[in-house]
Chain A
Amino acid sequence: MEMSNENEPEVDIKASEIEYVSYGFEHHLPLIMNLVDEELSEPYSIFTYRYFVYLWPQLSFMQAFHKGKCIGTVVCKMGEHRGTFRGYIAMLVVLKPYRGKGIATELVTRSIKVMMESGCEEVTLEAEVTNKGALALYGRLGFIRAKRLFRYYLNGVDAFRLKLLFPRAEPQPFHSMAADGDDSHEYNEHTLWRKSPLLPTQHVN
């Protein structure tokens, strides 16, 4: 997926200026949809967003704001999957000029904590194999690359299924992570998109 574009002007911000907000109401939706539309390759209908937001309001649409501007979002869900209670990170977006400042790590970390506290046994997601930024981010958080999914995305690129297994016993004390890279990945759990016509061109970072 999209990595920081070198031509993009970097925004000079302090960590304290970033405000993390949970989903408020419908008025947040256009902000999130614009973010995702701009940064991720797969098209999502409004139903996909609403599916998440009304079922998991506490998890979905955790957002990062900078001076009133929505600059990043994470969309998640939780549920039973083959006998396991599992968290799922569907989309993660941070606007290009704001990447590399630990915002995505913070968004994901907050979501994972909610999942852990809600009794999830594991967290999964998919990311394009070419999305080095996202893979590094999740690697630092302890995700492993469990599987590779052949031509998973519409653009013909393979995906990795990433998994994070929580310890079975008492949850370990949480260490905060200093991140030095951010990226985006997107939702695609279903075989649905895989069966769609695929673009054979290589997705360029």
Chain B
Amino acid sequence: MADVCEGEGERQVPICPSIPSGEQTVWADASSLLHLACNDLRDGELIHGENFNLFAAMSALEIMDPKMDSGMVRTYYSVDEAIEYGAAPVPLSFDKTVDVQGTIDIMDHLLACEATWHKGCSLAQTVFSCLYLLRPDRTSSHALLHSYCRVMRASCNAVVCTVSDTRTNEEEDLFTMTHGLPLKVDGDDKCLTMLHAVEETIARQLRACKAILSKKRVTEDIEPLQNNPDLEEGFCKSLLCRLRFRKHFYHVVTNMKRPQGRGLELAKKHIACCFEELDSMIKSAEFLRSINALGTLEDGMKSETTASGSQPVGFDSTLNSRLSAPTPPRAIETISWKKAAEYFQKLLHELEIICSYNLDPVFEGVLRFVVEFQKFQPELVARAHLQHLLVQDGKLYGRDSVFAVICKASLLPEVAKNHDIQKNETVVQLGQLLITLLRVLCTNISWQRRKLGKILQDWRIIHVQLELAFREEFGDIAATSSNENICMKICRHILIWVEEQTYWIASRFLMLGFELDLYSTGEYCMVYWYIYIILIKLAEKTHMRAMTSNEISKRKGKKKRDLVKDGGKDYQLPPAILFLQCHLYLAEGLTMMLAALRNEKQIYLSTGPFNSEHERFVQHFELLLKACLPDHVSYYSFEETTAHARLSNVSMYNCFKEAQRIAKELRSSFSNDSDKMAELRRIEQVAEHNSVALAEHLRAYYYI
């Protein structure tokens, strides 16, 4: 190519560029150069610049390919052109009935767009595909539409702010992309005043029409909403619930943003109102569809984006495609109005759970709450609100300092939280790790598992660093026997808690693998085994923390593992530890049972032509092994434990029996905790089913 360039030189040809030549620029005809360059390439050859990597290759678009070129399906070139061609008339019609009908359709389609946005599409291609929202001034003569558009923009803005502030959206960054959209419009902050006025008018119109229907005297002279008296009541009601839903929803999102959870009580009241209005909206579908002579809700509505089943006026999702993403914009499918209503019911339910939360100051309680909350598989908006509540200004609920939380979690006395040690750099870092952990726990579980795997290493390192830092500051912690020194006490407690927390993260990491369907049946044996060894450590650390706090002398003669497993014989272990024991026995039983099935019956084997179980073990637990969780563990430890497992071995049967027994005993300890009770019931069931199956097998083994 270079040869061609040099050989060609410049040739002056008459051209008339719209940009004139300047002092340092001159226009030249490059067609012959291009022609030569083309001849230089054979069919199928590609000039491969160093910077033309896979990313560049995949970013390339083929013009006029409808799969890639969004311009292919464009109706208008600009919003102004669309408006000029009458795509978004104001009013929608001079026939008032048609105007009201059309406005309701716009409201409904906007709800469907909003839900589609919440579920991962861009704001530009969903809510802001509405031409009325894009040109805020145009609707000012249409009070109803204008007020609705305002509250819509304001609500979206509030949600965008919460999500941006919390940065829960690592992988969902499309959500907060608002560049070039009129999201913040002057006057939108007063949207409620305007909405209220419109709501009042329609409420009066409804009263008036009801009065006429019941032949009562009309006290004030009110112009009806539209022309058809038979439809007046239905339209008024349909509009009122839609306006009120928006009003209450706006209150919900703004109240939930208030610091330290101060708006939660109020938000909860508005959520209750939202549910009511949403119900009325769903009920209104019957009326709206009857006008169009369409079937009932159940018949259609599979893909319809409005309750009435009509196509809304004033939307064009292709107009904003240039604003929607850094990559080729693709056609999106708006979810149906029915699905959108269901989505909002789910969202409100999740927000209600957050609003009902008691702001537990104990860290363990926070973790439990977040883990339980994630079981609902909440979408981004709900998770962002949860995170916003948990972490504000670097404090738990914006209220409790991280160090105070750590002290409480480490079972230290109240006085510790004011200790100067919190200024220590490593202690500050530990605080940051804690905040990061809370944030990570609020992300979607796919991302969460990956992040948890990575931060395990950080928790391991901070433990070492803390040990060093404490030694530097206070001397050898282990050498000091009792707790006479508060510094020593703080150090010891925090170190134990950090270890316990690390194992908690590791256990969550492993458990999430089940929820994400990452394990195949052939790998269950090694997964349960790893869960088993992590739970042993977790139970051990939890126990140590409790003992350190209760000043119970350590039983040095016993192995740590025995401490946890046989602890019940000497004195009653706390329910939290017994609960872990339950899981522990179950994991042990399942490991051994699966290993026995593998050894004796050749089922649940983990084989392949290119590698062995060893490689799969290393791959699955790479991050845990790298962080030495626990120390000295390897594939060989797993192999050693499971190689000789036999179905005739009574020990695994005993594991299930033990799990069952402890689960039964624990019922009384957790009678107030419905989640724990449900989990206990499940443990009992699993243990029982497996012990029955094993007993059957044993019977067959011995008697046949």
Contacts and interface: CB of A to CB of B under 8 A. Distances in A.
Which residue, B61, B120, B612, has most C-beta atoms of chain A within 10 A?
Answer: B120
Contacts of A44: 58
Contact of B125 (A147, A189, A197): A197
B57 A165 contact: no
Interface residues of B, number: 63
Contacts of B620: 144, 146
Interface stretch (A13-21, A95-103, A156-164): A156-164
Interface in A183-201: 189-190, 192-201
Interface stretch (A57-65, A66-74, A135-143): A135-143
Nearest to B327: A196
A32 B614 CA distance: 37
Nearest to B117: A200
B399 interface: no
Interface in B321-367: 324-333, 335
In this complex, the member of A144, A151, A160 whose beta carbon has the largest number of chain B beta carbons within 10 angstroms is A144
Contacts of A164: 608, 610-611, 615
Given A165-B615, A196-B328, A190 B54 contact: yes
B57 A141 contact: no
Interface in A30-71: 43-48, 50-51, 54
A176 interface: yes
Contact of B62 (A46, A160, A193): A46
A140 B519 CA distance: 13
Contact of B619 (A29, A150, A163, A196): A163
Nearest to A77: B54
Contacts of A172: 610-612
Contacts of B14: none
Contacts of B368: none
B293 interface: no
Q: Which of the listed residues A142, A176, A189 has the most CB atoms from chain B within 10 Å of its own CB?
A: A142
Contacts of B125: 197
Interface residues of A, number: 56
A46 B43 CA distance: 13
Interface string B538-573: 000000000000000000000000000000000000
Contact of A146 (B60, B326, B331, B518): B518
B610 A116 contact: yes
Contacts of A54: 46, 48
Nearest to A115: B610
B54 A51 contact: yes
B610 A112 contact: yes
Nearest to B53: A51
Nearest to A173: B609
A167 B58 contact: no
Nearest to B608: A142
Contacts of B446: 147-150, 158
Contacts of B387: none
A196 B325 CA distance: 6
A50 B46 contact: yes
B516 to A, nearest CB: 4
Interface in B500-551: 516-520, 522-523
B87 interface: no
Given A50-B46, A192-B327, A200 B119 contact: yes
A86 interface: no
B608 A147 contact: no
Contacts of B52: 51
A85 to B, nearest CB: 16
A115 to B, nearest CB: 10
Given A151-B120, A165-B615, A167-B615, A192 B58 contact: yes
A22 interface: no
A167 B517 contact: no
Contacts of B324: 197
A139 B67 CA distance: 32
A165 B44 CA distance: 35
Given A145-B517, A197-B121, A165 B60 contact: no
Nearest to A140: B608
B65 interface: yes
B54 A189 contact: yes
A126 B173 CA distance: 21
Nearest to B126: A197
A82 interface: no
A174 B611 CA distance: 9
A47 B65 CA distance: 14
A165 B58 contact: no
A142 B330 contact: no
Interface string B117-141: 0011110010000000000000000
B55 A156 contact: no
A116 B58 CA distance: 26
B324 to A, nearest CB: 6
A112 B610 CA distance: 9
B450 interface: yes
B46 A190 contact: no
Contact of A45 (B60, B119, B122): B60
B250 to A, nearest CB: 24
Among B61, B65, B619: residue with most chain A CB under 10 A: B619
Nearest to B42: A26
B59 interface: yes
A90 to B, nearest CB: 9
Contacts of A166: 610-611, 615
B473 to A, nearest CB: 37
B332 A144 contact: no
17 contacts: A47-B57, A48-B54, A141-B610, A142-B607, A142-B611, A142-B616, A143-B608, A144-B619, A148-B446, A148-B518, A154-B330, A164-B615, A166-B615, A167-B615, A190-B58, A196-B328, A200-B116
Interface of B: 43-44, 46, 48, 52-62, 65, 67-68, 116, 119-122, 125, 171-174, 324-333, 335, 444, 446-447, 449-450, 516-520, 522-523, 607-612, 614-616, 618-620
Given A109-B609, A201-B333, 15 more contacts: A45-B60, A51-B53, A142-B608, A142-B611, A144-B520, A144-B523, A144-B620, A145-B517, A147-B449, A150-B171, A165-B619, A177-B609, A190-B58, A194-B171, A197-B324
Interface of A: 25-26, 29, 43-48, 50-51, 54, 77, 109, 112, 116, 129, 139-151, 154, 156, 158, 160, 163-167, 172, 174-177, 189-190, 192-201
3 A-B pairs with least C-beta separation: A142-B608, A26-B44, A43-B67
